[in-house]
Structure 1
Amino acid sequence: MPEPGPSPLQSSLPTAAAHFGLHVLGRAAAPTETAGAAALTAAAAAATGDGTVPVAASTPAPALVPPAGPAALIGTVPGVGTVPAAADAVVAALAAPAAAVTAPPVPGPGFVLPGPTGLGTAALSLSRRAAAPELPAPPAPVASEAPVVGRPIPGLYFHPVAEPDPVRVDEVSRRIKAWALDEVQLFPEDWEGEFDGFSVGRYMVACHPDAPTVEHLMIATRLMVAENAVDDCYCEDHGGSPIGLGGRLLLAHTALDPLHTTTEYQPLWEESLHADAPRRAYRSAMEYFVARSTPSQADRYRHDMARLHMGYLAEAAWAETDHMPEVWEYLAMRQFNNFRPCPTITDTVGGYELPADLHAQPAMQRVLALAGNATTIVNDLYSYMKELDSPGTHLNLPVVISDREGVSDREGYLKAVEVHNDLMRDFEAEAAALAAACPVPTVQRFLRGVAVWVDGNHYWHQTNTYRYSLPDFW
């Protein structure tokens, strides 16, 4: 079938990045960079030259951020229109509604959440700056005629997205099922309904609308399915157990980070990569990923997967000792056992590279950590009812808050919503500050990609009524 084209960007957060560029232009007119920001910009210049590093063996990505510097981020804001070329007008635009959504607040004293004040407003100067040149606006989100299915969590701070491109969704769904069945023999026939109900094609198309081809989308889709196979078969419902988990994860990790051993033992290790479905999935998905990524991107992913596996082991250790962690301890575990490996590959899926020096900057690492933490708490909240039905005590943030802070199940859940909202607003503020401090096209595009992933992740959780339902707390 013909290759479906890339979907339009769907996130209000990436669109709001238009505002960041204007602020940077103003700062350039009267530079007051801190040493840290100056060092970041210097690292960007050294690492990228013109700020664009294509990924080897991949189809060129569409120029979502024109290589003309920070002013290239000028665009349109849903419900506002074209962004004016002056910082004071940008401040006025940010004050207008429609950029972000807080679901209807939860009734009850003390729980009315403060509404969003506009992305990045803390990073914007209120003084008049030089006008920025007008540039073509990025594509606007395509309005969906059908309402989005699923009920959002009341009081949750999130950005709505348009429905993902149905042509791409169908093609990704077809290809991923063929891969799962024919290439890696991932699941028996009686698991087929669960695989289809996961709706991974809709998930990945919503999270990566700037992918230049379906094959780029398949990079993320295979890795997502492989990660879930490891979680289900090693840790969770389909044969998982905390007992012996470390050994299983270590051997599976060698499918991502290859073993370098002697000639005598190398064939035995290679044979082990086909021993079970999780290892077969990891091996195959990683081979496809490496074929379209740079060495630094592949190493970055291995690092984040090691973080993920360490989080699995911490949760397993608590299960073995029947330990209920403190809330802060649980959040520390969730910083590792979370979605971070998914948004961190957004540049590979987009067909470009954020250079290693820029990815490793502390400010970028903080943005990624906050994004991963917020999206993982979304999972805790939407999967709450599903996990209550599983055997034993399944740790999630509402359960831990209720137990450790001595509050009701409802109060624990609503407090977890507040924690998520705080993480989301911190993520947005840090992304805004980084975009202002480092006006490099690949940094700007990467931040937009991470923000789109955050929004797409919420969309999938809200709309996946096959897997998730909400508690009766409102």
Structure 2
Amino acid sequence: MPDPGLSSLPVSPPAPAARPVLPGPPSLPFGSTAGAAVPASADAPEPVEVPVPVPVGSVTEPATLSVPEQALVPEQAVVSEALTPLERILSGPSGFGTTALSLARRPEPEAAALAVTGSAPPAEPLADPPTEPAATTAVVGNPIPGLYYHPIPEPDPLRVEEVSRRIKDWAVDEVQMFPPEWADEFDGFSVGRYMVACHPDAPSIEHLMVATRLMVAENAVDDIYCEDHGGSPVGLGSRLLLAHTALDPVHTTPEYQAPWEESLASDAPRRAYHSAMKYFTQLATASQADRFRHDMARLHLGYLAEAAWAETDHVPEVWEYLAMRQFNNFRPCPTLTDSVGGYELPMDLHAQPAMQRVIALAGNATTIVNDLYSYTKELDSPGTHLNLPVVIAERENLSAKEGYLKAVEVHNDLMRAFEAEAAALAATCPVPTVLRFLKGVAVWVDGNHYWHQTNTFRYSLPDFW
């Protein structure tokens, strides 16, 4: 599996105004001994300087970052009071299976083992199917000038190929999701490359497939019920409600249970939702599945708000549009971070207001990325398609170019807020699963940008520069 590379956390994150403080001391978070951090000893080795490449669009000078030379203790996090919040994120979680998740550049495993133990580690089995490091190639597509983002390595090509093959088999043979004439669009979506880029820590192909099926099912609902392929705001609420029951089952009397169950096969969106959720619940815990249902209800609520505006030809205020986009956004995708990674962020930690703010900011920033990269595609579609540049231009009496460039600034502000809040949360709650989840969300954010930038089949940039 390729190294996910540097995080989407800046070398010097801006200090947010008022950060929420989680209860409980860092050494014993939330009154539990599970996963408690072990303070560093007084005679810990001196940190070593590790060069950090400059993220695109963030800083202008190279920087170095101190990370501890000491090896992490399995199943425990060694947390030094000398580490800054950012360094805690960069040093990553500890425990079995988390070595590959460190956000700092690391020596090769053999060199690291020799430095710490004097002997090389035994070879570890590769996840299915056997993978090789991705070749370094030029990334296709142009990034949006001035956009704050972080480049990532090319996703593992063998995993991309396998996920792409399996997802098309599922879409065509299992759920009959689209007619043959839509095949080119399905292939052009490049969902296999998307999901492998967003989840480099997935322990197996089946873990990746969980996220991929759900992503494809969500897009089927969006396209077929709302937008490109016969979608309409008229009657959308009824269609979304019935589709949501494929995720959140109806519990009724035997007389009416049977017709509901038959309805799950009535159209492609419901077939896709039902099948994808069935696979997901076989792998996820009950709390992870319930969390996902909640985020999908948020998504559907956002769809309904946008549909209501379309029915009345209403252009919302910018703040109203951003509120809608907090619900109609990518949030259900990064909420799967731990499920796809093969672990669980406990329910009480996931529900903390500080964690919810981090997840919301990540979802908001990644969704504005979609607004920006899909801008020209949406302008070519019939009618007025609301996106952030269009709303800013309309409501603030700006030109199309000025509205677009201001939307880039809004995205950058959201990204920096996400990174600063993630670093603050890591400092106040350095639990291994929290650190790993924050890292996974950051990697998802970077992978989402990578897919939008490189998907030249779907997206092209406006001529504003």
Shorter-chain TM-score category?
0.7 to 0.9
SS of equivalent residue, structure 2 residue 24: helix
Give 1:8's aligned residue.
Answer: 3
1:189-204 counterparts in 2 under 5 A? 189-204=180-195
Candidates 306, 311, 317, aligned match of 2:302: 311
Give 1:100's aligned residue.
Answer: 55
Q: Percent identity?
A: 71
SS of equivalent residue, structure 1 residue 39: coil
Candidates 428, 432, 436, aligned match of 1:441: 432
SS of equivalent residue, structure 1 residue 260: coil
Rounded to whole Å, the distance in 2 between the matches of 1:234 and 1:163 is: 33
Give 1:78's aligned residue.
Answer: none
Candidates 445, 456, 460, aligned match of 1:465: 456
SS of equivalent residue, structure 1 residue 157: coil
Alignment of 1:253 onto 2:244: yes
Q: Is the Cα contact below 8 Å between 2:373 and 2:453 reproduced in 1?
A: yes
1:422-437 counterparts in 2 under 5 A? 422-437=413-428
1:111-130 counterparts in 2 under 5 A? 129=82
Instruction: State the shift of 1:11 in Å.
Output: 3.8
Rounded to whole Å, the distance in 1 between the matches of 2:55 and 2:350 is: 27
Work out the number of aligned pairs and report it. 404
Give 2:24's aligned residue.
Answer: 39
Rounded to whole Å, the distance in 2 between the matches of 1:241 and 1:311 is: 15
1:208-223 counterparts in 2 under 5 A? 208-223=199-214
Amino acid at match of 1:425: R
Give 2:364's aligned residue.
Answer: 373
Rounded to whole Å, the distance in 2 between the matches of 1:403 and 1:180 is: 39
Instruction: State the shift of 1:12 in Å.
Output: 2.7
Give 1:331's aligned residue.
Answer: 322
Rounded to whole Å, the distance in 2 between the matches of 1:317 and 1:35 is: 34
Give 1:394's aligned residue.
Answer: 385
Amino acid at match of 2:198: C
Q: TM-score, normalised by structure 2?
A: 0.80
Instruction: State the shift of 1:35 in Å.
Output: 9.5
Rounded to whole Å, the distance in 1 between the matches of 2:406 and 2:20 is: 38
Deviations 1:358-390 (A, max 9, x none): 000000000000000000000000000000000
Candidates 438, 445, 455, aligned match of 2:446: 455
Deviations 1:25-75 (A, max 9, x none): xxxxxxxxx993343858845567136xxxxxxxxxxxxxxxx7587xxxx
Rounded to whole Å, the distance in 2 between the matches of 1:43 and 1:335 is: 33
Amino acid at match of 1:470: L
Alignment of 1:50 onto 2:65: no
Deviations 1:271-323 (A, max 9, x none): 00000000000000000000000110000000000000000000000000110
Amino acid at match of 1:234: Y
Deviations 1:427-450 (A, max 9, x none): 000000001111100000000000
Q: Is the Cα contact below 8 Å between 1:43 and 1:358 reproduced in 2?
A: no
Structure 2 unaligned spans of 5+: 14-18, 67-80, 107-132
SS of equivalent residue, structure 1 residue 13: coil
Structure 1 unaligned spans of 5+: 1-5, 20-33, 52-67, 72-83, 104-113, 122-127
Rounded to whole Å, the distance in 1 between the matches of 2:241 and 2:390 is: 29
Rounded to whole Å, the distance in 2 between the matches of 1:119 and 1:314 is: 46
Q: Is the Cα contact below 8 Å between 1:119 and 1:432 reproduced in 2?
A: no
Deviations 1:50-106 (A, max 9, x none): 36xxxxxxxxxxxxxxxx7587xxxxxxxxxxxx955xx87xx7xx76242118xxx
Change (3 A) 1:403 1:175: same
Candidates 408, 413, 417, aligned match of 1:417: 408
Alignment of 1:408 onto 2:408: no
Q: TM-score, normalised by structure 1?
A: 0.79
Amino acid at match of 1:456: G
Instruction: State the shift of 1:150 in Å.
Output: 0.3
